[in-house]
Structure 1
Amino acid sequence: MNHPFNIIPSLSAIAIAYTQSNLIADEVLPRVPVYTENFNHLKYKLEDAFAAPDTRVGRKSAPNQVSWGSELQAAMVEDHALDAPVPNADVDAYNLAKQAGTGYVAQADPLSRATKLVMQTVQNRREKRAADLVFNPASYGANNKETLTSNFWDDYANSDPLVQIDEYLDSMVMRPTVVVFGRRVFSKLSRHPKVCKAIFGNNTDAGKVSMQALASELGMEKICVGDAWINTAAPGQPATLVRVWGNHAAFLVRNKEADTQFGVTFGYTAQFGDQVAGTIQDADIGMRGGQRVRAGESVKELVTANDLGFFVQNAINPAP
């Protein structure tokens, strides 16, 4: 079969290796491999997890059986890819410079640069999908979310965030291991006088606490701060940049050993195969034709245990 999309290993290697330091989707919803595009995964219910059946066993009888409540659900990865046009004139100029050794810069390879540009945009969109899932009240159990209408964490006179957070965490059936903050939420929280006093001591209620210090105070393995922006304007219109991760917070149980068939965790990203990149010949690019560089991945972001997270909507005042 003739496939117009020619996967190129060197470009795929760039696509696999490409990362952006300010994106947190892979930390919040770790990638889990699946081996078919359609797959089954366990969706956990915690009703049976804390049962206390009789554990006594007679000399010749079988022990009672217990299982963690779950149901098998079907899912399917989604393909996410974009194209970037590269004129043949640019490729030819690069190859000539490489052969002549004049003006040759390895990083200026137009196909490699196009691959990085495409993967940057694909990953930006993944960040948006992850944020829309994690910062969504519907992703949490009925008792595992709160929308603040007062005592916002940037109301330094009236709020006590550490007390509020302790109450949230104490209500959960499992202690969370990671917390996700929108950037503005973390910035406000890290300067809260009561947070500073709790961490710095000596009645010091000013300054800014570090991410590591706050994680230790909250008993978390990691704090993930969403820094990414996204342009919501229509193509051709002036940019309208908004934070991908809004003014919210989420406390999650993250089990990196969990996969589609074993282990409980708030959520993960099912991934089929590696990121791929390649080219498609396109005679309509420029006078001499060109190549469309295509890069993408097949993934599906999932919440697998709604009760293993707690969501705080409008942790800081949403009013401008």
Structure 2
Amino acid sequence: MSAAAPFPINAAVIQAIVIAYRNAKMIADGVMPRVQVGTQDFKYLRQNMADQFTVQETRVGRKSAPNQVETVGDLVPATVFEYGLDEIVPVNDIKNAAPGVDPVANAAEFVMKLVTLDREVRVANTVFNPANHVNKTTLAGNAQWSDYVNSDPVTAILTNLDTPVIRPNVMAIGRAAWTKLILHPKVIDYVNGKGGTSGGVTRQQLADALELEEILVGEAFVNTAKKGQAASYQRAWGKHCALIYREQPTDVSRATTWGFTAEWGDRVADTQYGKDFGGLEGGYKTRAGERVNEVVSAPDLSYFFQNAIA
């Protein structure tokens, strides 16, 4: 930072704000957990699940050697990408800030919020992309869970949880589909066993009933309008539902999970003073970002319901 900067900026505080930033409404990290990689270019294991379930001859003769097997799967090369944004904070904003308000710190948090929203949208598009699932179906008409008379989401979910070779342990579902699902009379009846058709069920109740570790409901909104146009808000997570097998990988070269997020290093935070960054006295350019790549490593360890509701 230039020695001519008119205000001292604590870089450690800015870094701490960016690293610690979390938005409880975002589910990206829950669906595709982060795992550190050592370099920007890395290799992850794309497993051949059939080989893992093929019975081998394991009996060993008195003077013979055991049969040999190989680690199943291919190591696939991939790259971590950089995502970040800048915001300019003029010196005048700092001078005019109310007591206790730190415009530079606020800018760092705001920038990281937008970077996190972009990641949420990327993960939602990845999870709800039919191409990323071997096992899938598109619901239509009276099979959609918004049809409370004819559809049977409980049977559909329970039946298809048994389709992948490893049973999924997490449900990722958009808020609109979730609301319809928990108010469905057959769901209420299955969870409560009371034959009721009103009220609803909680997330934990349905997770327990379906033998899932967690149900993640995507609630984030995103403005899809172009800059300068009236805002048009849409859900980042659509009207779909994905059942996935999730583990927290410790090493991308040995990951057995539907998908994960490769992360290289900590989040980046930086603030620089410049005379040309706004006003007569210049300003501070605050940057925040991260280096990640969302990877689908085992597309057969899931079941995808496209258009779960109308």
The TM-score bracket by the shorter chain reads over 0.9
Q: Which of 80, 83, 88 pairs up with 1:85?
A: 88
Question: Is the counterpart of residue 302 in structure 1 residue 305 in structure 2?
Answer: no
Number of the residue aligned with 2:218: 226
Given that residues 87 and 285 in structure 1 are in contact (C-alpha distance below 8 angstroms), is that contact kept between their aligned partners in structure 2? yes
Identify which range, 163-172 or 7-16, moves more after superposition: 7-16
Pair 1:156-2:148 in alignment: yes
Backbone CA RMSD of aligned residues: 1.6
Structure 2 gaps of 5+ residues are 3-8
Q: State the AA in 1 paired with 2:279.
A: G
Q: Distance in 1 between matches of 2:219 and 2:136?
A: 23
| Residue in structure 2 matching 1:75, options 75, 78, 98 | 78
Q: Distance in 2 between matches of 1:263 and 1:129?
A: 21
User: Residue 48 of structure 1: SS of its match in structure 2?
Assistant: helix
| 1:179 aligns with one of 171, 185, 203 | 171
Contact 1:183-1:227 at 8 Å conserved across structures = yes
Offset, 1:90? 2.1
Partner of 1:314: 307
**In the TM superposition, what is the alpha-carbon distance from 1:60 to its structure 2 partner?**
1.9
Structure 1 stretch 278-287 or stretch 173-182: which is displaced more? 278-287
1:152-301 matches, within 5 Å, as 152-282=144-274, 283-301=276-294
Partner of 1:30: 33
Contact in 2 for aligned 1:84/1:292 (Cα 8 Å) = yes
Any idea what SS the aligned residue of 2:111 has?
helix
Unaligned runs of 5+ in 1: 95-102
The 3 A distance-change label for structure 1 pair 118 and 77 is: same
Q: Is the 8 A contact 2:277 2:285 kept in 1?
A: no
**With structure 2 as the length reference, what TM-score do the two structures score?**
0.93
- Measure the CA separation in 1 of the matches of 2:136 and 2:68: 33
Mapped partners of 2:22, 2:133: distance in 1 = 29
Aligned partners of 1:131 and 1:245 also within 8 Å: yes
Using the alignment, how far apart are the partners of 1:65 and 1:192 within structure 2?
52
Q: Is the 8 A contact 1:7 1:277 kept in 2?
A: no
Tell me how far apart the structure 1 counterparts of residues 214 and 189 of structure 2 sit (CA, whole Å).
Answer: 21
Contact 2:45 2:255 in 1 (8 A): no
The secondary structure found in structure 1 opposite 2:254 is coil
Using the alignment, how far apart are the partners of 2:138 and 2:71 within structure 1? 30
Q: Which secondary structure state, in structure 1, belongs to the residue aligned with residue 13 of structure 2?
A: helix
Q: Identity, % of aligned pairs?
A: 44
Give the C-alpha shift of residue 161 in structure 1: 0.5
Q: Secondary structure at the match of 2:89?
A: strand
1:104 aligns with 2:104: no
What amino acid is aligned across from residue 104 of structure 1 in structure 2?
P
CA–CA distance in 1 between the matches of 2:84 and 2:194? Answer: 54
Q: 1:31 to 1:44 in 2, by over 3 A?
A: same
Conserved? CA contact 2:60–2:66, under 8 Å: yes
Q: Tell which deviates more after alignment, 295-304 or 163-172.
A: 163-172
| Structure 1, 84-93 or 118-127: larger mean CA deviation | 84-93
State the Cα distance separating 1:205 from its structure 2 match. Answer: 2.2
Does the aligned pair in 2 maintain the 1:49–1:67 contact within 8 Å? no
How far apart, in 1, do the equivalents of 2:300 and 2:65 lie? 32
1:174–1:40 Cα change, 3 Å: same
Cα displacement (A) at 1:258: 4.5
Question: Contact (CA 8 Å) 1:48, 1:68: kept in 2 or not?
Answer: no
